[in-house]
Amino acid sequence: MFELIIGSKRFSEISDFESSMPDLPEFAQDAISFCKDWLDGQNSFDIQTSGSTGTPKIITIRRSQMLASALATQKYFNIKAGTPMLLCMNPKFIAGKMMLVRAMVWSCPIVAVEPSSNPLVSIPEGFRPKFIAMVPLQVETSIKESLEQLKEVEYLIIGGAPVSHSVKNALVSNQISAFQTYGMTETVSHIAIAPYQNEELVYEALPDVKVGTDERETLWVQSEMSGNEKIQTNDLVKIIDRTKFNWLGRADFVINSGGIKLHPEVLESKIEASVKSYFPDSNYFLSGLPDEKLGNRLVLFIESELGYEEKAKDLHDQLKDQLGKYESPKEIIFLPEFIRTDSGKVNRIKTRELSQ
């Protein structure tokens, strides 16, 4: 049976969601409001995109698309009614809303907690969620601080971005049942899933989802979740077969440096261990800046205060040896704080502009 649990309050029937509860925090109000609209039979919902690669915008998603997404995920994992779930993502955005849709469609109890880096510490005593969606930061923190609880989860789906190599290794070595998802607001959350194993991530499309590439080798998606429209993405992929693919990165992040095309997201995974050995608590990303000779030069941005010139030089030398002439960054730039979207993703474009 579907039941939304927030603290000591429980909501199940439509009448439960109609009572005004101004004392509840914003995340709870948002969750209750959305569930009420869904149970009332509302047929469309206005949802804000994350804005991680452009200006955030409001798009309208139909109920039928959200229902199709929930049913496809249920079929992929073979989820049974009554499976306990945890909502620890912002219900303003599609990922949070879809957790609520799944709970209602699958007839499952779901505990909603305020989004935080370690949400497992906030769940009620005795509640053992089996299906959870998290972003990489939540996964990383949960491994460090709530590992035993995380190991009890049967379906941990991870969205927003792939996790780091160190987190991937921790997931695999601890035999945590984790899956990376691929999707966007326009496709109503994920349309493909990749289990975290020892090999390279291989995404498999959900049932009845068609995928392919255009002449740029960027992915297109067509499914009931997309309203049966072909959604053209800016994601470069390598197609394995008609349902499987590898993700290479965003086409608009590709850097043409001296005629060499560089995929920053692929390179970031290669340099993770080196960067973390010098700056263990700092976020980082690779991007391009205009260069008179090369057209664009590869630059490593590190979220940290200034004053690490010596460490930066040592890291720069190490990356030269590790990556070689074309793939190593030409410069390291420190910024005290990266610009992030409302959903917590790093906005690479706006952050890069801070240095120009």
Same domain, 291 and 169: no
* In contact, 37 and 141? CB cutoff 8 Å: no
Of 154, 181, 208, the one marking the end of a domain is: 208
Domain presence at residue 93: yes
Same domain, 203 and 261: no
User: Residue 34 corresponds to which amino acid?
Assistant: F
Give the Cα separation of 225 and 186 in Å (integer): 8
Same domain, 194 and 324: no
Domains of the chain: total? 2
pLDDT at 52: 52
Number of H helices and E strands in the chain, helices first, is 9, 20
Give the Cα separation of 250 and 258 in Å (integer): 20
pLDDT in tens, 131-178: 999 998 899 999 999 999 999 999 999 997 788 888 999 999 999 999
Three-state secondary structure call for residue 11: strand
pLDDT at 343: 67
**CATH number, residue 300:** 3.30.300.30
Domain presence at residue 226: no
Of 154, 186, 208, the one marking the end of a domain is: 208
The residues facing 182 across adjacent strands are 192
* In contact, 330 and 292? CB cutoff 8 Å: no
Same domain, 57 and 156: yes
Same domain, 95 and 197: yes
Domain presence at residue 249: no
Domain presence at residue 231: no
Same domain, 43 and 165: yes
Question: Which residues contact residue 259 at a Cβ distance below 8 angstroms, ignoring those fewer than 6 apart?
Answer: 295
**CATH number, residue 177:** 3.40.50.12780
Same domain, 166 and 268: no
| Number of other residues whose CB lies within 10 A of the CB of residue 52 | 20
Same domain, 90 and 174: yes
Domain presence at residue 237: no
Burial of 303 (0-12, 13-18, 19+ CB in 10 A): middle
Tell me which residue of 52, 44, 79 sits closest to 348, measured CA to CA. Answer: 52
pLDDT at 56: 67
Give the Cα separation of 114 and 99 in Å (integer): 14
In the structure encoding, which two tokens stand for residue 229, read together? 């429209």
Same domain, 188 and 260: no
346 lies in which domain range? 254-353
Same domain, 41 and 172: yes
Domain presence at residue 12: yes
Of 150, 183, 208, the one marking the end of a domain is: 208
pTM for this predicted structure: 0.83
Domain presence at residue 26: yes
Give the Cα separation of 16 and 262 in Å (integer): 54
Q: Which regions in the chain score pLDDT beneath 70?
A: 50-56, 343, 356
Domain presence at residue 222: no
